[in-house]
Structure 1
């Protein structure tokens, strides 16, 4: 295999140099990039990258519970000891951890009511010392009733404090170490953190023989019996997939080990890609061989930062997907069918429910669980990335910046001009873009757009990339992900879903108009000037829209969202309409809304004026938004969004109705702009006078619809169809 890279499941740090020595001896082209984590590379334990990545999952789960792990106390039971990479690093990632119990293959640690600060300091001492065990923990730090016991002991005495902490019956005075380990796993703690080796949780429907980890058969527990609120899987295979699903069905927040401990894997991926590039620079004489090791090491901190961004983004994705509840069940069913056809998904092998099982669960109010969504995420990303590699996507010059941003700043500053020579350029770009589409758009985003529009995945990726850039959504997503746990989860999810709705609409808008036929740079330059109108665009809106956005922004601000982000969220979907404004401006002869009609740069969109009519971009926007408000189109859009979307046809009907409404509004605004008047208000009034008869009928229909209760889906669909037809009928001639 010309591209064989090894990352050992165990002993990554210990045996990488041995493997790389063999690679170098045999003349393998990857050299010491063959096995990551060696002496010239990124030491996972020193970076703490696997634990830090897993901790992002833990933090996000607790965020859903309204708890900030970095400032509030929470109880933990764990698998591992402080000498280990994943457990040791993990138990030092918050000073508010109350570690009440833990075990490894040697000992059981019990600290029923720990002093968080003292315990943290002692854990830190053990971790720093290295090669320690729980037996080295200073007994004077352990709270009353606690202690450290060997798993070789015949029996362990249980104090009242330990019984209370682990939820053990009052009349049980002692138990065997094996049974005590089971009770640690079953403790009513906030977090179960796995940083050890072995499989400790299975489903009640599985046998120990099926699990295949004989050493832990005696202590393994069932997912349905767990009493923690959150599971963090820093280690591999700590639970079976069915065990995770069973725990999740019982209300426990859990992903998969592949999601939680992906930090180490991605760190290895980045190390390999960096070394391939750096070795190319050495061969080209642009970097001396003597500099190589130091140069690679100098990027350690930024590599970690880049890796953790992925962990954060994936957890935001999964939280948002869980928030959809059962409303997306049919969409996920269709997605699974697509992945079965295009990505070799085997639902039985991956323990994903059948169509009938999913529908039965949905009827009981039970959506897909975190572990199931994690598997779908992996398959969706694999499928999309592979499709993009096989396309011409990476040929667009725009994606040089995507490639550049993948690497640390030191590489960008020194070798940016050589990045396009990377042998894996296309693969890196495709992987990054696929991650962005799924993380920000949703697991089913690419499938939905392709299925509804008939576009190919490369065009979807182009439109998505342009949308993210034009609307500066990466900044929005980053600030949203960093919000405190004080922000109510319902509001946080609304903020996330609104960005997805904007992305969905913008991408479809571009594809419908075949805007992706040009390069991404041209597309961005064509529409980026809407940003000049976007922020503070309230002054463009009618009074009703202003009141709505102001109320939403104030609500978000009261709940702890910073003012600038609150306003941006409130106006996010209104900003979509600015694409139509840009199109209208172009139809009026303003070819660049950032410049005047003659192409001369202007400091304000209001200065961009056509010659004979005196129509500015600002006037176009005000006419557009005035019509939107005066005819209550917000109500129509909300009712369209509330229509059922269980089937493909229902979803396509919603999309068609929304696009019909917007396109008709554009046509109405274009007509109003032709009417006489010095400003937007005068033009709208003149147009209304010219079309009074048609508009009277439109108002009657819209008023009647607004008074409808909205609980009859069939009636809503019929009424909205009539409303849209009447809206089109308001067009003159």
Structure 2
């Protein structure tokens, strides 16, 4: 009864508008809709912003036209109709409709089209009347900001599909193709309003659209929460700690907070799709591989889900295109099903650290009072598996866990644990909350850029943790081991970086500030690339019982002298043609970090008690043939335009020889 399905879909609408630089909650925008005010999804949806200018709408009975609506007056009238039992468009007070508009039954032979309506719907100058079917077809193609679907039926197909493919005979006469849509965004409150191919075609033509199951997931999500809360409260009711009336009162009091938890999930899924979309052109190989692997395991049929064929993937790669939001929506959902099952079949639900996710799933009012009952909840494992799946996949995207499993040979459960450690060590939730709080204050592009740099760092730290030999990852233990040191490194960067790197950091801070981020956040984001080596630095500091800042100063000073930062950037820039390229790149990255760690250890031991720059220069000036040769080779390499896998493999191998000769 809280209009949650509409509110969930509205999270997608707000997201699409943020991408367009529009605040749907404080700026007027135009809209056409399918449905009427008596419908739950349409009615609730059309009251979710006071800035909707509803230009036209239709349901199975009427066509409503209001070519130049006043946002405030029309809002009040829609609100009045929403409260009327069983209202229809016919109940709309026509004195409030703008000039040239009106309400018409669909049974009429033809409907007059005024100049104002012609303008609003972008019709040709000679159109002065249309059949109801043709008029509804025109409404669907209107040049407006938003198409809001709260109706039943399929109204958009792809030009490659027949009307029969849409499977909804009643609307054959008015259905349009995805490439005919002129709206800027679609909100799918209803189910099946567009065929999947229709969505993809619309998206290819620049329309912002997800899918129905992403936009209207809030209804199902809410009932899941409610069922799980009822199961939780059955124990205190049985032991007579709560009476039934008290239980019901408690349930009612939590409605808003449950809605909050559910809407947060809609927000997150939209953000995940946006992040994947941003990366998808560059990482198309990774997505293609993901589709092939799932298909090979019989978990996915690309024809049924209208995912691109191998030929289509090659075409897109050639055109520099990635995957569309509707396609990414499908991959996100499939990955969550796969990962959920992997988590459920593992020891993740038993992990003492991850069981905190169990508590976070429930509203605050229950968290302390019934913590013990949560531990005994009969769906406890499922709730934790779901939460860990969501928190990992929403943040890292659909291909992350699979790629990591292949690269490290570790299980999905181990990867989820390593990912959790990286998140806690970086205090990433704090960074994310800061980004979310700046919705509409900085551009969506700038937000995605920040999320991407956090993503890269987490990927590197996760890999690092998984590649430690013989590790069984105890989350609490590792967070305890690294968090303090990483925080210390973060705050001392300005002091420990050599001059060139410090200038780079300062320039990055300015760039983030130019995007509109406040100083502290700009500094946090600018620091992220330097934290790629954080765990190496902290590990050496622990092993040699030295302060983090001292190890860091030596690390960066050596990196500067040997140009290993340049080498790492070159490795990062290697093109990934497929799975083996990705693995080769990962191996080079790991190897390079390991060599650098070993070298830093040698320098620290050799020059104990001296300031970092002196230590490093003394170590570099020693009479060592391997070192001389390597430095000369790196100098030659830096003049090369394209560095390929063989060249960089040789470079990394050379460093290993320097390590060996230094250890002798």
**TM-score, reference length from structure 2:** 0.95
Displacement of 1:486 after TM fit? 5.6
| Structure-2 separation of matches of 1:63 and 1:97 | 15
**What's the counterpart of residue 617 of structure 2?**
685
Instruction: List aligned pairs for 1:419-458, cutoff 5 A.
Output: 419-458=374-413
**What's the counterpart of residue 650 of structure 1?**
581
Is the 8 Å Cα contact of residues 418 and 473 (structure 2) preserved in structure 1?
Answer: no
**Kindly tell me: are residues 716 and 115 of structure 1, through their superposed partners in 2, closer, same or farther at Cα, counting changes over 3 Å?**
same
**Kindly tell me: are residues 545 and 123 of structure 1, through their superposed partners in 2, closer, same or farther at Cα, counting changes over 3 Å?**
farther
**Kindly tell me: are residues 216 and 659 of structure 1, through their superposed partners in 2, closer, same or farther at Cα, counting changes over 3 Å?**
same
* Superposed CA offset, 1:278-310 (max 9, x none): 112211333222211011111111111111111
Moved more, 171-180 or 143-152: 143-152
| Structure-2 separation of matches of 1:162 and 1:395 | 62
Matched residue SS, 1:235: coil
Residue 304 (structure 2) aligned to one of 315, 336, 349: 349
Matched residue SS, 2:281: helix
**What's the counterpart of residue 659 of structure 1?**
590
State the Cα RMSD in Å. 2.0
Moved more, 521-530 or 558-567: 558-567
**Kindly tell me: are residues 403 and 728 of structure 1, through their superposed partners in 2, closer, same or farther at Cα, counting changes over 3 Å?**
same
Displacement of 1:516 after TM fit? 5.1
Displacement of 1:488 after TM fit? 4.1
* Superposed CA offset, 1:13-37 (max 9, x none): xxxxxxxxxxxxxxxxxxxxxxxxx
Is the 8 Å Cα contact of residues 329 and 359 (structure 1) preserved in structure 2?
Answer: no
Displacement of 1:514 after TM fit? 4.7
Matched residue SS, 2:245: helix
Displacement of 1:196 after TM fit? 1.4
* Superposed CA offset, 1:592-614 (max 9, x none): xxxxxxxxxxxxxxxxxxxxxxx
**What's the counterpart of residue 646 of structure 2?**
718
Is the 8 Å Cα contact of residues 24 and 51 (structure 2) preserved in structure 1?
Answer: yes
Matched residue SS, 2:368: helix
Q: Does 1:634 align with 2:562?
A: no
Displacement of 1:195 after TM fit? 1.1
**Kindly tell me: are residues 518 and 653 of structure 1, through their superposed partners in 2, closer, same or farther at Cα, counting changes over 3 Å?**
closer
Residue 101 (structure 1) aligned to one of 52, 56, 61: 56
Is the 8 Å Cα contact of residues 9 and 187 (structure 2) preserved in structure 1?
Answer: yes
Is the 8 Å Cα contact of residues 676 and 682 (structure 1) preserved in structure 2?
Answer: no
| Structure-1 separation of matches of 2:434 and 2:623 | 46
* Superposed CA offset, 1:127-158 (max 9, x none): 23443222222333322222222222222111
**What's the counterpart of residue 40 of structure 1?**
none
| Structure-2 separation of matches of 1:468 and 1:307 | 22
| Structure-1 separation of matches of 2:633 and 2:38 | 72
Is the 8 Å Cα contact of residues 280 and 287 (structure 2) preserved in structure 1?
Answer: no
* Superposed CA offset, 1:289-342 (max 9, x none): 221101111111111111111111111111111112432222112111222244
Q: Does 1:574 align with 2:516?
A: no
Displacement of 1:684 after TM fit? 2.4
Is the 8 Å Cα contact of residues 57 and 311 (structure 1) preserved in structure 2?
Answer: yes
Residue 492 (structure 1) aligned to one of 425, 447, 469: 447
**Kindly tell me: are residues 150 and 510 of structure 1, through their superposed partners in 2, closer, same or farther at Cα, counting changes over 3 Å?**
same
| Structure-2 separation of matches of 1:313 and 1:696 | 52
Residue 327 (structure 2) aligned to one of 372, 377, 384: 372
Instruction: List aligned pairs for 1:266-345, cutoff 5 A.
Output: 266-342=221-297, 344-345=299-300
| Structure-2 separation of matches of 1:164 and 1:515 | 70
**Kindly tell me: are residues 550 and 123 of structure 1, through their superposed partners in 2, closer, same or farther at Cα, counting changes over 3 Å?**
farther
**What's the counterpart of residue 204 of structure 1?**
159
**What's the counterpart of residue 356 of structure 2?**
401
Displacement of 1:115 after TM fit? 1.8
* Superposed CA offset, 1:150-179 (max 9, x none): 222222111111101101111010111121
Long gaps (5+) in structure 1: 1-42, 591-614
**What's the counterpart of residue 729 of structure 1?**
657
Is the 8 Å Cα contact of residues 414 and 473 (structure 2) preserved in structure 1?
Answer: no
Moved more, 445-454 or 575-584: 575-584
Long gaps (5+) in structure 2: none
**Kindly tell me: are residues 136 and 229 of structure 1, through their superposed partners in 2, closer, same or farther at Cα, counting changes over 3 Å?**
same
Is the 8 Å Cα contact of residues 489 and 549 (structure 2) preserved in structure 1?
Answer: no
Residue 410 (structure 1) aligned to one of 365, 388, 394: 365
Displacement of 1:120 after TM fit? 2.2
Matched residue SS, 1:112: coil
Matched residue SS, 2:69: coil
| Structure-2 separation of matches of 1:144 and 1:562 | 47
* Superposed CA offset, 1:669-708 (max 9, x none): 1111111434333332332333676554444333333333
Displacement of 1:479 after TM fit? 2.6
Is the 8 Å Cα contact of residues 485 and 548 (structure 2) preserved in structure 1?
Answer: no
Q: Does 1:70 align with 2:2?
A: no
Q: Does 1:552 align with 2:552?
A: no
| Structure-2 separation of matches of 1:515 and 1:153 | 76
Residue 238 (structure 1) aligned to one of 175, 193, 197: 193
* Superposed CA offset, 1:174-219 (max 9, x none): 1111211111001111211111111111122323333222222222
| Structure-2 separation of matches of 1:630 and 1:575 | 19
Matched residue SS, 1:690: coil
| Structure-2 separation of matches of 1:635 and 1:447 | 29
**What's the counterpart of residue 464 of structure 1?**
419
Matched residue SS, 1:517: coil
**TM-score, reference length from structure 1:** 0.86
Matched residue SS, 1:571: helix
**What's the counterpart of residue 620 of structure 1?**
551
Q: Does 1:133 align with 2:94?
A: no
Q: Does 1:706 align with 2:638?
A: yes
**What's the counterpart of residue 5 of structure 2?**
50
Is the 8 Å Cα contact of residues 581 and 621 (structure 1) preserved in structure 2?
Answer: yes
**Kindly tell me: are residues 146 and 140 of structure 1, through their superposed partners in 2, closer, same or farther at Cα, counting changes over 3 Å?**
same
**What's the counterpart of residue 505 of structure 1?**
460
| Structure-1 separation of matches of 2:306 and 2:229 | 36
Matched residue SS, 2:186: strand
* Superposed CA offset, 1:400-447 (max 9, x none): 211000110011021012211000111111111111111111110000
Is the 8 Å Cα contact of residues 109 and 134 (structure 1) preserved in structure 2?
Answer: yes
Displacement of 1:582 after TM fit? 1.6
Displacement of 1:621 after TM fit? 1.7
Count of aligned pairs between the two proteins: 659
| Structure-1 separation of matches of 2:409 and 2:623 | 38
Is the 8 Å Cα contact of residues 489 and 534 (structure 2) preserved in structure 1?
Answer: yes
